[in-house]
Amino acid sequence: IAGITQAPTSQILAAGRRMTLRCTQDMRHNAMYWYRQDLGLGLRLIHYSNTAGTTGKGEVPDGYSVSRANTDDFPLTLASAVPSQTSVYFCASSQDRGGADTQYFGPGTRLTVL
């Protein structure tokens, strides 16, 4: 693989179910991010990780959790999905969080919660 991969590509989920979105990068980047993108709104940061073993809350963290057990993987879990979590979810990574560091994005997961 090259870059960032996300799985699944799309998912329809019943409200109340638990769901984990997977994200893997092979660029050995230190920082990783989860965003959601909704029509008419900018990308909103859910959670981030500066380096393996650390995580932080973004702008819209409620209802979501993350873990960063190693450099490559950064899964996002919805403990009990609600319809307002219907969105397109993007995982991204960058070498670090400062300077001119470019964020590279995965292809996204389109999630529908019914």
Partner 1 sequence: GQNIDQPTEMTATEGAIVQINCTYQTSGFNGLFWYQQHAGEAPTFLSYNVLDGLEEKGRFSSFLSRSKGYSYLLLKELQMKDSASYLCAVRDSNYQLIWGAGTKLIIKP
Q: Could you say whether residue 9 binds partner 1 (CB under 8 A)? A: no
Can you tell me which of 43, 61, 67, 75 binds partner 1, judged by CB under 8 A?
43
Phi, psi (degrees; rounded to nearest 5) at 62? -65, 130
Q: Could you say whether residue 102 binds partner 1 (CB under 8 A)? A: yes
- Which CB sits closer to partner 1, 48 or 68? 48
Can you tell me which of 1, 2, 28, 42 binds partner 1, judged by CB under 8 A?
42
Q: Could you say whether residue 107 binds partner 1 (CB under 8 A)? A: yes
Q: Could you say whether residue 44 binds partner 1 (CB under 8 A)? A: yes
Which residues, other chains included, contact 85 with Cβ-Cβ below 8 Å and sequence gap of 6+?
36, 63, 78, 111, 113
Instruction: Kindly write down the DSSP assignment for every residue of 11-66, as one continuous string.
Output: EEE-TT--EEEEEEESS--SEEEEEEE-TTS--EEEEEESSTT--EE-SS-TTEEE
Give the binding site for partner 1 (CB under 8 A). Answer: 40-45, 48, 58-59, 90, 97-100, 102-108
